[in-house]
Amino acid sequence: MSLNLEQYVSEFTAQNINGEHLLHLDGSKLKALGMTSSQDRAIIKKKLKEMKASLEKARKAQEKMEKQREKLRKKEQEQLQRRSKKTDKCSSDATEGTNEQ
């Protein structure tokens, strides 16, 4: 409707075309849904292309965030392991010192 193509709403609704289905439509499928105007199909295809690009960009950003989180988790884990080793070594050295006395 925001594209001023509300005349197709009833057919899209009757065919259960939701957002997920819409992303998979091409020119011939749009035509089969009653979209006879090549201009209207071009408008939809352009908007779908923009939406797919936007979705891909968001997916890549999400993957990047997940990689950064994983990297941070690994770094924190390594720091904890180093601290633990230092603590163990200090305890071990203190025990050896006590045993020598």
Q: Is residue 96 part of a domain?
A: no
Range of the domain at 29: 6-60
Provide the number of structural domains found in the chain. Answer: 1
* Distance (Å, whole) CA 48 – CA 26: 9
Q: Is residue 12 part of a domain?
A: yes
Q: Is residue 30 part of a domain?
A: yes
Q: Is residue 66 part of a domain?
A: no
Q: Is residue 97 part of a domain?
A: no
Examine the pLDDT at 88 and tell me if it is beyond 90: no
**pLDDT tens digits along 21-50:** 888 899 999 999 889 999 999 999 999 999
Q: Is residue 93 part of a domain?
A: no
Q: Is residue 94 part of a domain?
A: no
Binned at pLDDT 50, 70 and 90, residue 97 comes out as: low
Lowest mean pLDDT segment, chosen from 7-21, 26-40, 50-64, 81-95: 81-95
Q: Report whether 17 contacts 25 (CB < 8 A).
A: yes
